[in-house]
């Protein structure tokens, strides 16, 4: 499997001959049923939305969207199936306390730590008393405004033990192809732009995978690492791992597209909000195009993992700062208060 983002994914030449290559087998679709009745929520345009707080979050919280999330969870695992730990990359050893922010269906949390899903609103003041060893978040794009992201990263930093790890895994909305196989006229070329424009209009941009590194560094994290992925959509790659990831991510897109588009486009569509019917027709056309084996499409994903400085590092940094301030003070004391002037300047 190519692990360099620049590598092109090789196409499987047999893909055009298979009739049901895009479908999941029975085993895989069994992973998708979940009763959503335990969730409080509001219905809108035929979809259920969670009422976490008075602000807004674009993602539906219903069976269809959980199916997409579960498929996304499996794609993430498959994409890292050859790595030491497909769940996360941060070198966390024997963590006692893990927090998964915005856990959704909770698949990651259940797999990672057998913890209960946590649906506390992370924009409220955090009430956990004990710090965490590891804080994880995935697919939180479009959940927060820039200022809210600042606050979330600060809370993550403040609520980690010194030396504890933070990891964020995000996906992009743009559908791309390296070999020009996605034609300009395909409805898919505009998909990411439409979603991005609506999300920016809503004040909660979805380009998180491109902005998060700077924000994480700004929050004070050190030892920052990243891994960039191409998540193929459809089983078109020749490589068996990418083929499996592609089949799952096709399923994620098929089930997820309406939920990603409905809220944002009907409320914040650019130049004007779309009607429910317009979104439904658009999604139907886009769904049709993502199962075209001639389109060798993928979207980007990125993981960033970074560490809160250890106590020794923090102490060393504080000492450096104190030394710098002391040096500056000495320099100011030694410098003459006004520039020296020669006697001739007086006359
Ligand atoms: C796209 S889902 C991702 C779920 C999960 N992390 C995964 O990768 O499968 C985003 C999740 O963030 C949650 N969320 C959005 N705003 C939130 C907030 N302010 N506080 C806590 N969770 C939030 C939503 O309820 C939803 O479950």
Residue 125 CA to ligand 1 centre (angstroms): 17
SS3 252: helix
Q: Number of structural domains, the chain?
A: 1
Q: Is 346 part of a structural domain of the chain?
A: no
Residue 124 CA to ligand 1 centre (angstroms): 14
pLDDT by 10s per residue, the chain, length 347? 656 677 888 888 777 776 677 776 544 443 333 333 334 567 788 788 876 555 578 888 888 888 899 989 999 999 998 888 889 999 987 777 788 888 888 888 878 754 334 445 566 666 677 899 999 999 999 999 999 999 999 999 999 999 999 999 999 999 999 999 999 989 999 999 999 999 999 999 999 999 999 999 999 999 999 999 999 999 999 999 899 999 999 999 999 999 999 999 999 999 999 999 999 999 999 999 999 999 999 999 999 999 999 999 999 989 998 998 888 888 777 776 665 555 555 44
pTM above 0.85, yes or no: no
* Residue 285 to residue 33: CA distance in whole angstroms: 25
* Residue 183 to residue 189: CA distance in whole angstroms: 8
- Residue 18: what pLDDT? 66
- Name every protein residue with a CB atom under 6 angstroms from any ligand 1 atom: 50, 52, 57, 59, 61, 69, 72-73, 102-105, 107-108, 121-123, 138-140, 143
How far is residue 109 from each of residues 63, 97, 104, 119, 316, measured CA to CA in Å? 18, 12, 9, 12, 35
Question: What residue owns the CA closest to ligand 1's atom 13?
Answer: 102
How far is residue 190 from each of residues 4, 82, 140, measured CA to CA in Å? 26, 33, 22
Q: What DSSP designation does 153 have?
A: H
Q: Is 46 part of a structural domain of the chain?
A: yes
Domain that holds residue 155: 13-335
Contact 268, 202 (CB under 8 A): yes
- With residue 302 as reference, give the H or E element that holds it: strand 298-307
Q: Is 347 part of a structural domain of the chain?
A: no
- Residue 261: what pLDDT? 96
**Best of 34, 57, 259 for a ligand 1 pocket test (most atoms within 8 Å of beta carbon):** 57
Q: What DSSP designation does 241 have?
A: H
Q: Is 148 part of a structural domain of the chain?
A: yes
Cα–Cα–Cα angle for 140, 146, 149, rounded to 5 degrees: 50
- CATH at 265: 3.40.50.150
- Residue 295: what pLDDT? 97
- Residue 123: what pLDDT? 61
**Best of 62, 127, 140, 257 for a ligand 1 pocket test (most atoms within 8 Å of beta carbon):** 140
Residue 52 CA to ligand 1 centre (angstroms): 10
Q: Is 6 part of a structural domain of the chain?
A: no
Q: Is 285 part of a structural domain of the chain?
A: yes
SS3 164: strand
Q: Is 344 part of a structural domain of the chain?
A: no
* Residue 237 to residue 245: CA distance in whole angstroms: 9
Q: Is 40 part of a structural domain of the chain?
A: yes
User: Looking at ligand 1, which atom is closest to the CA of residue 50?
Assistant: 25
Residue 256 CA to ligand 1 centre (angstroms): 14
Q: Where are the alpha helices (DSSP H) in 202-275?
A: 208-218, 240-268
- Residue 287: what pLDDT? 95
Q: Single out the residue of 246, 223, 332, 342 nearest to residue 293, CA to CA.
A: 246
């Amino acid at each position: 499997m190519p692990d360099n983002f620049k590598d092109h994914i090789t196409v499987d030449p047999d893909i055009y001959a298979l009739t049901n290559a895009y479908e999941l087998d029975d085993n895989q679709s069994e992973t998708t049923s979940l009763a959503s009745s335990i969730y409080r929520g509001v219905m809108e345009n035929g979809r259920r939305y969670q009422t976490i707080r008075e602000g807004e979050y674009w993602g539906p919280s219903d069976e269809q969207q959980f199916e997409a999330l579960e498929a996304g969870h499996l794609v993430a695992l498959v994409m890292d199936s050859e790595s030491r730990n497909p769940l996360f990359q941060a070198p966390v050893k024997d963590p006692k306390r893990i927090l998964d922010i915005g856990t959704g269906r909770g698949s990651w949390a259940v797999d990672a730590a057998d913890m209960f899903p946590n649906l506390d609103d992370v924009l409220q003041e955090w009430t956990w008393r004990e710090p965490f060893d590891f804080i994880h978040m995935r697919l939180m794009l479009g959940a927060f405004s820039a200022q809210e992201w600042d606050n979330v990263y600060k809370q993550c930093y403040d609520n980690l033990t010194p030396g504890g790890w933070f990891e964020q895994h995000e996906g992009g909305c743009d559908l791309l192809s390296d070999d020009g196989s996605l034609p300009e006229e395909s409805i898919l070329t505009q998909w990411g732009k439409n979603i991005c424009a609506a999300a920016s209009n809503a004040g909660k941009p979805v380009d998180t995978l491109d902005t998060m590194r700077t924000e994480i560094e700004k929050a004070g994290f050190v030892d920052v690492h990243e891994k960039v992925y191409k998540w193929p959509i459809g089983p078109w790659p020749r490589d068996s791992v990418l083929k499996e990831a592609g089949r799952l991510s096709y399923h994620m897109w098929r089930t997820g597209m309406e939920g990603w588009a409905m809220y944002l486009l009907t409320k914040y569509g650019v130049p004007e909000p779309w009607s429910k019917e317009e979104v439904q027709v658009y999604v139907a056309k886009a769904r049709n195009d993502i199962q075209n084996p001639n389109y060798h499409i993928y979207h980007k994903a990125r993981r960033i993992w970074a560490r809160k400085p250890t106590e020794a590092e923090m102490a060393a940094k504080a000492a450096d700062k104190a030394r710098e301030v002391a040096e500056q003070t000495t320099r100011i004391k030694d410098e003459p208060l006004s520039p020296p002037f020669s006697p001739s300047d007086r006359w």
